[in-house]
Amino acid sequence: MTVISRLAAAARSVLLALCLGLPMMVGGLSPAAGQGAGQAADPLPSWTEGPTKAALLDFVKAVTEPGRPTFVDPADRIATFDQDGTLWVEKPVYSEVSFAASRLRAMAETNPALKDEEPFKTAISGDEEAMGRMPFEDLKKIILLALRGVSVDQYRMEVVQWLETARNPRLGRLRRELVYQPMREVLDYLRGNGFRTYIVTGGGQDFVRAYSQRLYGVPPEQVVGTADAVKFGYDAAGRPVLTLEPSLLLEDIFGGKPEGIHLVIGKRPLIAFGNSTGDRQMLEYAKAGAGARLSLLVLHDDARREVAYGPALGLPASEVGTFTQALHDEAKARGWFVISMKSDWKRVFSFEPMP
């Protein structure tokens, strides 16, 4: 046991004792506990002052201040976040596709025929710009072939290892550094106010669970994703094992997002974040509930600090993370907030200095 884990264990037992002694004060304490000492400190320092930041702060007040008609019990404070393009960079292609391509490269050593068959040929070549131009169905083929027959434990371990060193070729950074700092602040801010934060991703559930706690503070059970079919069986030693199958149980995109939310959570989110047409139905579903609700879309309009794509507002079109003009129009009509990376975020990544 390291010093840190011993300290953490000691802290846990002290807190457990404290907490058990204070059950009646819990409701009033939790927001303060979440924000530490500085009640007055800005919980969203990377956000520019303006209507979007104000809407976030007002929304949290509306659902957490006791006595407000819009107050919501902590048990029902559910926030959902798309991942790719909403919490971290999705260009030139989804990280999961890049990981799958690395697995296919290894598979091609014993099965060279893969190198001659598209879309695997391009994946094995490692050309992520080309993968980013593929239709979605080709990306699915790459992902499903790469995970076939792997145990869920082995898969998770490989993703963890891969993410240690995997780099984004376009931005020249480790992928795990490419989390949007303003969104990390929102995750912390909501959790500090009694929300449970869920990731609801078109990406693979097992893929995202491998790092969700580390990168976002979101535990595996709060990741709703596109779910590969998993088969229960026994290994050679007779031990139970769960193995990934090359088919999908749930496609967690478009209408599949509210369906996946119902399957795993069974509660309608109060606040939802997305960035593309795949998130539309989730945002409609969240906003259509009673009481205070907030739906928000990240717009990638900052070519200098990240990548600019749409095609909404005349931004370059994109196969990955499409944000159409129709989605923009719907956002305006329904009172969703469109987050401009360029003007709403003082910094995009944690490694940028605060201006």
Q: How far is the CB of 14 from a copy of itself (least distance, A)?
A: 6
Of positions 38, 40, 41, 67, contacts a copy of itself by CB under 8 A: 67
Q: How far is the CB of 156 from a copy of itself (least distance, A)?
A: 9
Q: How many CB atoms lie within 10 A of CB 206?
A: 23
Is residue 13 at the binding interface for a copy of itself, with CB under 8 A as the rule? yes
Q: How many residues bind a copy of itself (CB under 8 A)?
A: 68
Of positions 44, 72, 107, 152, contacts a copy of itself by CB under 8 A: 152
Cβ proximity to a copy of itself: between 145 and 187 the closer is 187
> Mask of contacts with a copy of itself, 242-261, x by CB under 8 A?
x------xx----xx-xx--
Is residue 353 at the binding interface for a copy of itself, with CB under 8 A as the rule? no
β-pair partners for 204: 226
Is residue 29 at the binding interface for a copy of itself, with CB under 8 A as the rule? yes
Is residue 14 at the binding interface for a copy of itself, with CB under 8 A as the rule? yes
Of positions 23, 38, 314, 355, contacts a copy of itself by CB under 8 A: 23
Is residue 66 at the binding interface for a copy of itself, with CB under 8 A as the rule? yes
Of positions 3, 40, 290, 354, contacts a copy of itself by CB under 8 A: 3
CB 114 within 8 A of CB 101: no
Q: How far is the CB of 207 from a copy of itself (least distance, A)?
A: 12
Of positions 55, 57, 70, 71, contacts a copy of itself by CB under 8 A: 71
CB 34 within 8 A of CB 192: yes
Q: How far is the CB of 263 from a copy of itself (least distance, A)?
A: 6
Query: Which stretches of the chain bind a copy of itself, using CB under 8 A?
Result: 3-4, 7-16, 18-20, 22-27, 29-30, 33-34, 36, 66-67, 71, 73-75, 152, 191-192, 194, 205-206, 209, 217, 219-221, 223, 227, 230-233, 239-240, 242, 249-250, 255-256, 258-259, 262-267, 281, 284-285, 288
